């Protein structure tokens, strides 16, 4: 089984993120987007879920998977590689850094916050950047 979990790591916003403050992702009409679902789950439950938990829960909601099928569908879902939070719209577009603690549980911090800057400066935490939205021209 593959995993999207990080441990003791901070995912910084993408270099080409268009904003420098954490922003609540807007709805598209009356539908929640992947960004909305991820935001709600992490914002309301800091350090409760792993990246795998959030990514699969959002997938399950969007695919309307029955509760009785969740365990089997999760096994199938993670039997092949899945994109991690480095490719999430939260880190690429909406200005949120994601911290994974030693257990892989995640919380998010707006790029404008003191906490965000403390994670960036903390030498004991691994850092990685979110993926860019646009390719770099050579």
Cα 17 from Cα 15, distance rounded (Å): 6
pTM of the model: 0.91
Residues 6 or more apart whose CB falls under 8 angstroms from that of 17 comprise 91, 92, 93, 94, 95, 111, 130, 133
pLDDT at 134: 76
E strand map for the chain: 9-12, 96-100, 106-110, 126-129
Token representation of residue 101:
């603690």
DSSP designation for 105:
B
Residues forming a β-bridge with 127: 10
Radius of gyration of the chain (CA): 15
Q: The tokens of 28 are what?
A: 């598209």
pLDDT of res. 138: 59
Q: Kindly state the tokens that stand for 66.
A: 């029955």
Block mean pLDDT (10 aa), the chain, length 138: 93 95 91 94 98 96 94 94 94 97 98 97 96 74
Domain boundaries, the chain: 9-128
């Amino acid at each position: 089984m593959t995993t999207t979990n990080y441990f003791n790591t901070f995912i910084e916003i993408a270099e080409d993120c268009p904003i420098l403050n954490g922003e609540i992702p807007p709805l598209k009409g009356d539908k929640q987007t992947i960004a909305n679902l991820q935001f709600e789950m992490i914002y309301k439950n800091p350090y409760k879920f792993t990246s795998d938990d959030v990514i699969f829960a959002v997938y399950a909601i969007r695919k309307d998977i029955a509760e009785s099928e969740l365990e089997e569908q999760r096994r199938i879902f993670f039997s092949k590689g899945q994109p991690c939070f480095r490719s999430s719209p939260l880190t690429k577009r909406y200005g949120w850094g994601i911290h994974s603690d030693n257990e892989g549980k995640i919380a998010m911090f707006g790029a404008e916050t003191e906490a965000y800057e403390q994670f960036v400066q903390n030498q004991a935490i691994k850092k990685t950047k979110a993926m860019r939205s646009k390719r770099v021209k050579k």
